[in-house]
Structure 1
Amino acid sequence: MRSARRWQAAAAALAIAGSAFAAAPTAQARTGACPELTVTQGWYGQNKARLQELVDTYGRCGKGAGAARGHQPVAVFDWDNTVVKNDVGDATMYWMLRHSKIRRPQHGDWHTTSRYLTEPAATALAAACPADAATLPTATDPRCADEIRTVYGDGRTTAGAAAFAGWDRRTIEPQYAWLAQLMSGWRAGDIRSFARAARAENLAAPIGARQRVGTAEVMGWVRYYDQQRDLIRTLERAGFDVWVTSASPEPVVDVWAAGVGIAPDHTIGIRPVTAHGRLTPHLKGCGSVADGEDAMITYIDGKRCWINQEVFGVRGAAAERVQPAARRQVFAAGDSDTDVSFLRDATGLRLVLNRNKNELMCRAYDNSDGRWIVNPMFIQPKGQKSGTYPCATTAYTGRDGTAGPVRRADGTVVPDQRDSVYGG
């Protein structure tokens, strides 16, 4: 377990900082002492100015009454489609399939790869993939590659049967977790080497490139967002403690995050349990979830738990709850419903890249406290969503998968929202 940061900041100082920031939606007069954002292209409306104001207000260079002296403000970024365009977990999975790097499950039983895998999925995988190969020949066996890729990417078998069942929709996504679980048998260093190879290929490929995995053509490129690199660099120069959280496997995120200057001790991804130096199909837990229960990854409420535990040192079930303002991130950035909880926890500003995700966009456009800002994706932004986001009826997904209305902290229902910040 990585050592957690110790926080002794005064809640009153942060409350003053938050009040000052919320009361000034446009940039304060520059003092010249704070580092400045340098990338202008791609920012919507006043977003760049709002972000600069965040730096000026909360950074150690801040001159306003809102600067919380003696406290290192925290900024947390989601990774996939927030700091980079496309998904580095997908990129690594595709590379592993193309290079036959997935090991046969223990005793040939696919149920050992995920406690949520359904019987139809286990049967389909066993039928498609050879039972006598230590490492599955997915580079040359399209049937096996297709079955794994489809279960991972679609949550269904190639025949259309549901691949996973019985999970808490607010703490884990078994498809995301399955990639980390399929890395079983390798050392973390092996996975980092796979991720480096996939990273090199995906950065070298032209924007829009496709690659063949099994019989399918899939995404084959990734790009860092220059705007986010600039923002991370500026925040760090201003004294922010910058972290990355992702629902991709942590060894993979470690490799990619280095490209924006984030060290492995500041990345939080899906963490497999290790045995004798090798990854196992089980996952480390957070809060009230023990290691090996495989029920709490960096996903929606799970992201809140992992941030509270690893960044702020909150232990036990308390890590699953919203913390006092002095023990929460000042800034957060994300792009998906998977990021909703840790974005809501940010006390200063919340940056959302619009990918038309229902719950997230309902909360961002509702903007009940004035701290949400929305930006189109910096590369290949999505166009305007047709109609409205169904905030008042079905945009929220409950723990059992039941759809319902999005509610504010006080219980009131968020009305339907129209998409207003989108690509051309």
Structure 2
Amino acid sequence: MTNKLRTPAVAAALALAATGLLPATAAQATPREHRQTRDCAGLTVSEGWYGDNKARLDRLMADHCRTKGDKPVAVFDWDNTVIKNDVGDATFYWLLRNDRIRTPRHGDWSTTSRYLTPEAATALGEACPAGVRTLPTATDTDCADQLLSVYGNGTTTGGKKAFDGYDHRRIEPQYAWLAQLLHGWTTRQVRSFAAAARAENLAAPQGATQQVGSSKVTGWVRYYDQQRDLIRALKASGFDVWIVSASPEPVVDVWARGVGVEADRALGIRNTTEHGRLTSHLKGCGGVRDGEDRMITYIDGKRCWINQEIFGVRGPAAERVQPADRRQVFAAGDSDTDISFLRDATGLRLVLNRNKNELMCRAYDNGDGRWLVNPMFIEPKKRKTAAYPCATTGYTAPDGTAAPVRRTDGSIVPDQQDTVY
């Protein structure tokens, strides 16, 4: 999944980029010579775009169209960025409704995640039967409810914390747990599960719910026409378009084809394998080895996986911000989970407003003028009446504590008002 490394940029751009997340230089922003913009694609879907966002995206594509040399890179988050709702959730619900979660090895739930608390492991062991190959979650409400609570809420049904002891900028154990619960299945089988869930959720009417255990949960997903159009136009303009998601990679592979992105351009949580079947351990990135389970495609982990798989950066260097010529030109996201790879983009950064604190603090602060904020294309959020708490608690530290959002130079981002809704 690795592209050739990018050709060196001008010395001035490299020197500035090496200092960290600085605004793009004039050399980066200026279109390269020998562009042929008259044949370049533009956006055809106008509805849903806020202000001059469509015009600026069209200009970005025109500026980079038919670039000689390596293709410029565009990276999209998936859930609630390219589609409405969450394909990881949709797949998990399908697994529960169809008895597709395997009993953990020796019935020991702590083997499914190194971050699972003893209280959660005990609760799962008490709620779910041992000695069966797959759990009867379609009919066993207690087991389904416990799994759903641990995955969806991060707590047991009794309110006990389910995960602890992790770096909050590198991994979200709840997201990782879905991939880890796929242990025992082959990648091909997981893709078939995802395809079945996809068919159900696309066929369901907007707003539909489904019964999982004793709960009613979301039962529909839709592709955003605007994002499908944008991906088409970027590809036609010569961009190398990638998806990076905190859902399991085989699941993302299935869904990404619906917007013309093939599996070799979709990054998600990767399991290690044993005898051709997925294990409960995860592939590593940067300085994290396979099986250590300490980093997934989440916040800083997304940066690492992009640097490693798209730009060919190996070892601990993949965890760091790269020179401008080895970073994506365009990025799109909707959540704090996307903040690192969005900040790395040298051209434009499209944010769908879901009222997420750190992301909206940085997008509205917009120090280099390259952030585009847009309401969600389906069921947009209402205006957040209170200011985003950027100066106090908008940032989540690696230990999970709240802190001020800071710019690259260390200055604190002031509280921001919600103006795009």
TM-score class normalised by the smaller sequence: over 0.9
Tell me the equivalent position of 2:49: 43
Tell me the equivalent position of 1:238: 237
Q: Deviation digits for residues 277-302 of structure 1, max 9, x if unmatched?
A: 00000000000000000001000000
CA 1:321/1:334 → structure 2, altered by over 3 Å: closer, same or farther? same
Distance 2:407 2:158 in 1: 40
- 2:133 counterpart of 1:127: no
TM-aligned CA deviation for residue 12 of structure 1: 2.1
Tell me the equivalent position of 2:321: 322
TM-aligned CA deviation for residue 59 of structure 1: 1.9
**Runs (5+) with no aligned partner, structure 1:** 25-29, 61-67
Which AA in structure 1 matches 2:6? Q
TM, length-normalised to structure 1? 0.94
TM-aligned CA deviation for residue 18 of structure 1: 5.4
TM-aligned CA deviation for residue 36 of structure 1: 1.3
Tell me the equivalent position of 1:397: 396
CA 1:186/1:125 → structure 2, altered by over 3 Å: closer, same or farther? same
Q: Deviation digits for residues 231-279 of structure 1, max 9, x if unmatched?
A: 0000001110000000000000000000011111101100000010000
Q: Which runs of 4+ in 1 moved over 4 A?
A: 13-18, 20-24
CA 1:21/1:42 → structure 2, altered by over 3 Å: closer, same or farther? farther
Residue 21 of structure 1 contacts residue 54 of structure 1 at CA under 8 Å; is this kept in 2? no
CA 1:159/1:59 → structure 2, altered by over 3 Å: closer, same or farther? same
Tell me the equivalent position of 2:194: 195
TM-aligned CA deviation for residue 70 of structure 1: 1.6
Report the secondary structure of 2:280's partner residue. Answer: strand
Residue 83 of structure 2 contacts residue 224 of structure 2 at CA under 8 Å; is this kept in 1? yes
Residue 117 of structure 1 contacts residue 163 of structure 1 at CA under 8 Å; is this kept in 2? yes
Mapping of residues 32-111 of structure 1, within 5 Å: 32-60=38-66, 69-111=68-110
Distance 1:261 1:178 in 2: 28
Which AA in structure 2 matches 1:36? G
Residue 119 of structure 2 contacts residue 161 of structure 2 at CA under 8 Å; is this kept in 1? yes
Which AA in structure 2 matches 1:316? G
Which AA in structure 2 matches 1:19? A
Residue 105 of structure 1 contacts residue 112 of structure 1 at CA under 8 Å; is this kept in 2? yes
- 2:26 counterpart of 1:19: yes
Residue 22 of structure 1 contacts residue 371 of structure 1 at CA under 8 Å; is this kept in 2? no
Distance 2:6 2:364 in 1: 34
TM-aligned CA deviation for residue 375 of structure 1: 0.2
TM-aligned CA deviation for residue 133 of structure 1: 1.3
TM, length-normalised to structure 2? 0.95
Q: Deviation digits for residues 9-28 of structure 1, max 9, x if unmatched?
A: 2312995995278589xxxx
Which AA in structure 2 matches 1:52? D
- 2:313 counterpart of 1:306: no
TM-aligned CA deviation for residue 413 of structure 1: 0.5
Residue 76 of structure 1 contacts residue 243 of structure 1 at CA under 8 Å; is this kept in 2? yes
Report the secondary structure of 2:39's partner residue. Answer: coil
Q: Deviation digits for residues 138-190 of structure 1, max 9, x if unmatched?
A: 00101100000000000000000000000000000000000000000000000
Distance 2:70 2:3 in 1: 12
Report the secondary structure of 2:75's partner residue. Answer: strand
CA 1:22/1:368 → structure 2, altered by over 3 Å: closer, same or farther? farther
CA 1:220/1:354 → structure 2, altered by over 3 Å: closer, same or farther? same
Tell me the equivalent position of 1:167: 166
Tell me the equivalent position of 1:6: 4
Tell me the equivalent position of 1:63: none
Report the secondary structure of 2:120's partner residue. Answer: helix
Report the secondary structure of 1:389's partner residue. Answer: coil
TM-aligned CA deviation for residue 34 of structure 1: 1.2
Tell me the equivalent position of 2:153: 154
TM-aligned CA deviation for residue 369 of structure 1: 0.4
Report the secondary structure of 2:230's partner residue. Answer: helix
State the aligned residue count: 408
Which AA in structure 1 matches 2:277? R
Report the secondary structure of 1:269's partner residue. Answer: strand
**Runs (5+) with no aligned partner, structure 2:** 15-23
Distance 1:105 1:139 in 2: 18
CA 1:33/1:296 → structure 2, altered by over 3 Å: closer, same or farther? same
Alpha carbon RMSD of aligned pairs, Å? 1.6
Tell me the equivalent position of 2:382: 383
Tell me the equivalent position of 2:17: none
Distance 1:23 1:47 in 2: 19
Distance 1:232 1:143 in 2: 42
Residue 21 of structure 1 contacts residue 57 of structure 1 at CA under 8 Å; is this kept in 2? no
Mapping of residues 209-358 of structure 1, within 5 Å: 209-358=208-357
Distance 1:371 1:14 in 2: 20
